Structure 1
Amino acid sequence: MMLFGVFLLGVVAVPIAGLLGLLVHWLTRGRPGHTAVLMAAVAVPFILVGLTGAAMIVPLFWRSDSDADTGWSDLFRTPLGGGYYATRIDTTEGPAYLDQAGRGGTSMSPENEVRRFGCLKGQAFLQMGEGYIVVHAQARSLQPLPDEVQLRRTLGVSAGQPLPWLSEDDFYDRCSPKPDTLLDRVWDTGLIVLVLALLLGLVGGVIWVRLQPPALHRVPPPRWPQ
């Protein structure tokens, strides 16, 4: 995340600030307000990079306290409900492990590995390294089961029916709790309004300065005889 921020600053913000500064200088040089609007033009790309970082990071903070947390930085989570997750650390590939966030963390032992994800009418269940687990999201608890017979009995699935195992992506789409989209929309809308206000303010400032007569050709005020 930090490297991405440095990339945005060095590769995106600095060149754009330089080009924008040259353009604004060419449009407004020699006119009152030139320095102020030039400084604003150079600052705007850096402000936009900061807002981009905020747009990426801030939602992670309010999701980190919710059951819909999908992780951030080097932590990748598939929400299971009830504050439980299937978590990978440092990679999006390889095995995921049952993460009991706030209840002891993540054990990366073989018996804690999540082998398969299942979902039946919103009820999440897992095949683990050893046995099975049913996730009771409302009760915020786990029900370990020793074998598939007990799992079928708990889920009410007869022996002749296939268990609804899913890929991890399909499990997330069908069974994982989702983040508050209303909060995301409000945040995104606020950022868009702020960005538009910055750009319109800069354009308006350039136009206003451009319309001023050059300082060297301004007509001095008349002097009245004393």
Structure 2
Amino acid sequence: MMGIFAILAFVVIGLPLLAIFVGVTHFLTRGRPHRSLALGTSLLLIPVVCLYLGGASWAWNGWLGVRQLDPGILDTFRTPLGFGYYATSGDSWKPDGILEGPEGRMDWGVQRAGCAGDEVVLQLVGRQPSPRYAQITRQAPHYQEFADQAAFNEAVSGPVTWSADRVPPPACAPRLGVLDQVVGRVLWGIPLVWLFGGVFLVWAVYQEKQPGTARRRRITAGFLAVSLGAFGVHLFYLDRERSARNRLALGLIGIGLGLAIVPLFIPLTLGVIGVVEGMQLFRSSDQDAQPPPAVAL
């Protein structure tokens, strides 16, 4: 289902964007020295971004799964309750959702969730209308069911605040931490950097009515290394064809593997190398616009 959704999204959104990007690049770069580089980058950029987003979805889902915060891929059918427990969407006879946890799928639907202090509490229902209660203790991960409300009330640590649905109130719902926010911003921010790099390349080529000075080439190559270094665009710009082809092949292979291997180690690593090369280009002399051979792949 996810693959079909990705293909439809590319046909409906990606192809029109690709046509516009390539058309604008073709119009602006006529007669410029690096026109073929700009056109090739424009042609590859949107498909590569779409492929990356597919791999990034798996990577982000895997990260949240390890952190026990996984809501599901491109869906809201899983509501994290904490410590690997989830309220999932139900079926025809359990419209209230199904309780799922480390022990596996349980024969209880989650009718509503709530808080008792910082603990998550649940009201459950089975095949027959028979209310039951459960508690997820956070200090020492522990799940416990209660057959009646009296036993439940005696066990919980304080007054219960119920929500109107299966989502725990904010006071006790699992939340993304600072590290989760950083990982998410890095994963989802990379395509924006690539798109910025593609736009910058088109603008830089448009400005080049003739080959630029060493200083201008160095600065342009530095920005391309920081933004598109994972695909060796700056190496193509500096006419280092062999290193550029190797970098491009590694980057594309990494994007392809990212659809099956989480996370996307190869393009992320090449991107870091590109940033290092870009910093070195910014600091190098005007006579040497080439990154050191020891760093470039």
Same topology, TM > 0.5: yes
In the alignment, is the contact (CA less than 8 A) between 2:113 and 2:163 conserved in 1? yes
How many residues align? The count is 204
User: Shift of residue 38 of structure 1?
Assistant: 0.9
Q: 1:27 to 1:142 in 2, by over 3 A?
A: closer
Identity value in percent: 25
State the alpha-carbon separation in 1 of the partners of residues 146 and 188 from structure 2: 47
Q: Which residue of 1 aligns with 2:7?
A: 6
Q: Which residue of 1 aligns with 2:98?
A: 97
Q: Which residue of 2 aligns with 1:222?
A: none
User: Shift of residue 99 of structure 1?
Assistant: 0.9
State the alpha-carbon separation in 1 of the partners of residues 157 and 71 from structure 2: 30
Residue number among 120, 124, 128 corresponding to 1:124 in the alignment: 120
Tell which structure's C-alpha radius of gyration is larger.
1
State the alpha-carbon separation in 2 of the partners of residues 202 and 156 from structure 1: 57
Unaligned runs of 5+ in 2: 212-297
In the alignment, is the contact (CA less than 8 A) between 1:126 and 1:132 conserved in 2? yes
Q: Which residue of 1 aligns with 2:26?
A: 25
Q: Is 2:82 the partner of 1:81?
A: yes
Q: Matched residue of 1:72: which SS?
A: coil
User: Shift of residue 163 of structure 1?
Assistant: 4.3
Q: 1:35 to 1:122 in 2, by over 3 A?
A: same
Q: Is 2:178 the partner of 1:177?
A: no
User: Shift of residue 154 of structure 1?
Assistant: 1.4
Q: Which residue of 1 aligns with 2:164?
A: 167
State the alpha-carbon separation in 1 of the partners of residues 8 and 135 from structure 2: 43
User: Shift of residue 193 of structure 1?
Assistant: 5.5
State the alpha-carbon separation in 1 of the partners of residues 100 and 33 from structure 2: 61
Runs of 4 or more, structure 1, over 6 Å off, are none
User: Shift of residue 73 of structure 1?
Assistant: 5.2
State the alpha-carbon separation in 2 of the partners of residues 156 and 142 from structure 1: 14
Q: 1:169 to 1:53 in 2, by over 3 A?
A: same
User: Shift of residue 60 of structure 1?
Assistant: 0.8
Q: 1:47 to 1:126 in 2, by over 3 A?
A: same
State the alpha-carbon separation in 1 of the partners of residues 55 and 91 from structure 2: 23
State the alpha-carbon separation in 2 of the partners of residues 98 and 199 from structure 1: 44
Q: Is 2:143 the partner of 1:146?
A: no
Q: Which residue of 1 aligns with 2:197?
A: 200
Offset from partner CA, 1:5-48 (integer Å, 9 cap, x none) = 11232122222222222222222223332222111112222233
**TM-score, normalised with respect to structure 2:** 0.58
User: Shift of residue 121 of structure 1?
Assistant: 0.9
Unaligned runs of 5+ in 1: 215-226
User: Shift of residue 197 of structure 1?
Assistant: 4.9
Q: 1:127 to 1:2 in 2, by over 3 A?
A: same
State the alpha-carbon separation in 1 of the partners of residues 75 and 91 from structure 2: 5
State the alpha-carbon separation in 1 of the partners of residues 204 and 198 from structure 2: 10
In the alignment, is the contact (CA less than 8 A) between 1:69 and 1:179 conserved in 2? no
Structure having the higher strand fraction is 1
Q: Which residue of 2 aligns with 1:40?
A: 41
In the alignment, is the contact (CA less than 8 A) between 2:32 and 2:205 conserved in 1? no
Offset from partner CA, 1:160-194 (integer Å, 9 cap, x none) = xx743222366152322223343333441465365
User: Shift of residue 119 of structure 1?
Assistant: 1.0
State the alpha-carbon separation in 2 of the partners of residues 60 and 176 from structure 1: 18
Q: Cα RMSD between the aligned structures?
A: 3.1
Structure scoring higher RCO (CA < 8 A, sep ≥ 6) equals 1
